[in-house]
Amino acid sequence: MSAAPDHTPTFAKHSITDRIGQAAPYLLVPVLILAGFIAIGAPTSWLTLTVSGLAMGMMIFIMASGLTLVFGLMDIINFGHGAFISLGAFVGVSVLFGLGGWTDAASLPLNIAAILLAILAAMLLTGALAWAFERVIVRPVYGSHLKQILITVGALIVIEEAIHVIWGGEETFLNRPNALRGAVTFAGAALEKYRILAVVVGLAIFFGLRLVLQRTKIGLIVRAGVENPDMVEALGYRLRLVFVGVFIAGSALAGLGGVMWALYEQVITAGMGENMMVLIFIVVIIGGLGSVEGAFVGALLVGLLQNYVAFLEPKLALVSNIGLMTVILLWRPQGMMTVAKGS
Amino acid sequence: MSEPILSLEAVETDIAQYHILKGVSLSVPRGQVTMLLGRNGVGKTTTMRTIMGLLRNKAGQIRFDGAEISGELASSRCRAGIGFVPEDMGIFSALTVEENMILAAVSGAPDRARLDWLFTVFPPLKTFWKAPAGTLSGGQKQMLSIARAMIEDRKLYLIDEPTKGLAPAIVSTMVGALRELKRQGASILMVEQNFAVARALGDHCVVMDDGRATWSGAMADLATDHALQERLMGLSMEAG
Ligand SMILES: Nc1ncnc2c1ncn2[C@@H]1O[C@H](COP(=O)(O)OP(=O)(O)O)[C@@H](O)[C@H]1O
Ligand SMILES: [Mg+2]
């Protein structure tokens, strides 16, 4: 390197505290689990609650991951996201009812195949609806949060009513597929089989999303676009098109989350997605707008805390997540893992 | 004389309700460096962003390489051959240096030979290839921002204040790199407040005042005429 400049580059070395600072959000999960252990005392109850908290967290993460990207990338507040959750659940459950022979069979492969088909149908339908939703509902209201809130809340209500009209009734009950009913016993604790499956699916989605975001050019564009959309355009990319793709994928994930949640609760209503939106917004906010990793950690914290507190002090279960949000925002007002806007 | 690579004709741009560019006309000859000068707040950055397409001109024409581009998106303008180094550098701090460069190579993977050349011009980019760009020093970020614009051959480079806030030693690296780009025949439109730098690199210059281009001519004429500098930019800048 003959043309080396006459200065020695200084690189801001990561100190130990910096490194801990970056990993801190991830560390909160084991810290909370440990705190739960100390507070609960009984190891078997603690293990059951932990698995159920993780399962709940994973499902919330699946529903929140798309919303955080849409929020972070295009600054769109979309309450309609809840409708995609409900719609996914109804479509998925209809498929499961249709495949009653497979779900009732005492065969794990057949049961899983039925669930996969239900998920596929839910994702295809919510994805297709999201494509139209983006064009008709979202596109005209860029740049105005107030209009976004009003029109997406309106759309949420319309889609919920449409679900009532199409599927009728208030509540639809369902059973989990045969091989996923009941619990396995591990170290004396009863762990519901379905919750273990939910954890596996959640992890798969998380690592899949990470892979796409870290290792593909589309992922680079999305991550860069969250930080500085103008510069991504100036480098030659049509962020709009990428955004439409993210919106469709994010809504399809909401549909997937809806199917998973339906099998978890074993009852679905048109308003189920709307009811989830409070927790989902908490997760998106504490994770940091636009951060999939932040949403992941945030969702696990919310799921775990909800389960621990419901056991220890049921009356506080509802306020515990608001408390969590307050504490985290006092610590990091932009959320745990937000990307700085600009440079 | 061939047609200029870029010409603006009575370009007007608003930011929110403010009328910022009030009719900018200028031209940038091919294969040469044109300096855009003027006091703070006269509209230099707004002009650059309007040319790039990040702001829309509400009146006037922008001709680039023979075509009117006012209606084009910024992304199309980049693909048509305009490279952009914004005033705030526009670094993606959460991405590594490598990822910033991969993104900048819009038509495929970065060209190896071109990358090696950039490493010799800006050695820190090689040293910190895998580091998050947010951890670079100010000068290194500027190097990355310029290298990003240069990773593929562009017909025109828009460079907004590349030496702002940099230590003198790094300024000289920057000047060396831009001189190298110029030697290769690039067409450049550059905003520069440091008159020594402007003089060292510029062939032509355009001076702006209050949303208009008020003077244009050869750099040599402006550099030697202190009275003219005084009149155009309100202060006599020492040629270093
Ligand atoms: N976002 C904005 N809102 C309102 N005024 C702005 C905005 N950005 C720039 N301006 C105004 O536009 C004028 C030109 O700014 P700019 O192009 O950045 O000037 P320069 O680069 O020559 O210093 C300034 O008076 C500035 O105050
Ligand atoms: Mg400026």
Q: Is the CB of B44 under 6 A from ligand 1?
A: yes
Domains and their CATH numbers in chain B: 6-27+37-213 (3.40.50.300)
Q: Check CB contact under 8 Å for B127 and A11.
A: yes
Walking along chain B (240 residues) 10 residues at a time, the average pLDDT comes out as 90 96 97 94 97 97 96 96 96 95 92 93 94 94 95 96 90 90 92 92 94 94 85 58
Q: Does A235 touch chain B (CB under 8 A)?
A: yes
Cα(A22) to centroid of ligand 1, in Å? 36
Looking at residue B31, what is its pLDDT? 94
Nearest CA in chain A to B135: A12
- C-alpha B197 to ligand 2 mean position (Å): 16
Q: Which residues of A touch B86 (CB under 8 A)?
A: 230-231, 234
- CA angle (A101 as vertex; A96, A103 as ends), nearest 5: 50
**Which of B74, B88, B136 minimises the CB distance to A342?**
B88
Other beta carbons within 10 angstroms of residue B56's beta carbon come to 12
Q: What pLDDT digit, counting tens, does each position of B9-65 carry? A: 999 999 999 999 999 999 999 999 999 999 999 999 999 999 999 999 999 999 999
Q: With contact defined as beta carbons under 8 Å apart, do B8 and B60 qualify?
A: yes
Q: How many CB atoms lie within 10 A of CB B86?
A: 23
In three-state form (DSSP H/G/I as H, E/B as E, the rest C), the secondary structure along B32-97 is CEEEEECCCCCCHHHHHHHHHCCCCEEEEEEEECCEECCCCCHHHHHHHCEEEECCCCCCCCCCEH
Tell me if B136 and A236 make a contact (CB, 8 A cut-off): no
By C-alpha distance, the chain A residue nearest B94 is A339
Q: Give residue B210 CA to ligand 2 midpoint distance, Å.
A: 13
- Are B119 and A1 inside 8 Å of each other by CB? yes
Nearest to A238 by CA among B50, B76, B101, B86: B76
The full set of domain ranges for chain A reads: 51-272
Q: Is the pTM of this model over 0.90?
A: no
Over residues A206-219, the pLDDT tens digits come to: 999 999 999 999 99
Positions in chain A whose pLDDT score sits under 70: 1-22, 339-343
Distance from CA of A25 to the nearest CA of B (A): 16
With a 6 Å cutoff on the Cβ, whether B37 touches ligand 1 is: no
- CB–CB contact B74 A3 (8 Å): no
Q: Scan residues 1-30 of A and list those with Cβ closer than 8 Å to B.
A: 1-7, 9-12, 14
CA distance B104 to B149: 7
Convert A213-230 into a string of H (helix), E (strand) and C (coil): HHHCHHHHHHHHHHHCHH
CB contact under 8 A, B103 and A10: no
Within 8 A of B123 by CB-CB distance, chain A residues are: 1, 4-5, 9
Nearest 5°: the CA angle A157, A145, B86 is 140
Q: Which residues of A touch B90 (CB under 8 A)?
A: 228, 230-231, 234, 343
Residue B211 CB less than 6 A away from ligand 1 = no
Minimal Cβ distance to A343: which of B73, B123, B141: B141
CB contact under 8 A, A234 and B74: yes
B95·A220 Cβ contact <8 A: yes
Of B120, B135, B137, the CB nearest to A3: B120
Contact B89 A236 (CB under 8 A): no
User: What is the structure's pLDDT at A340?
Assistant: 56
Closest by Cβ to A343, choosing from B54, B88, B167 = B88
pLDDT of residue B226: 85
List the residue whose alpha carbon is closest to atom 27 of ligand 1.
B41
Give the residue on A whose Cα is nearest the Cα of B123.
Answer: A4
* Nearest atom in ligand 1 to B208's CA: 22
Q: What are phi and psi of A339, to 5 degrees?
A: -95, 135
Q: Which of B74, B132, B141, B146 is nearest to B104 (CA)?
A: B146
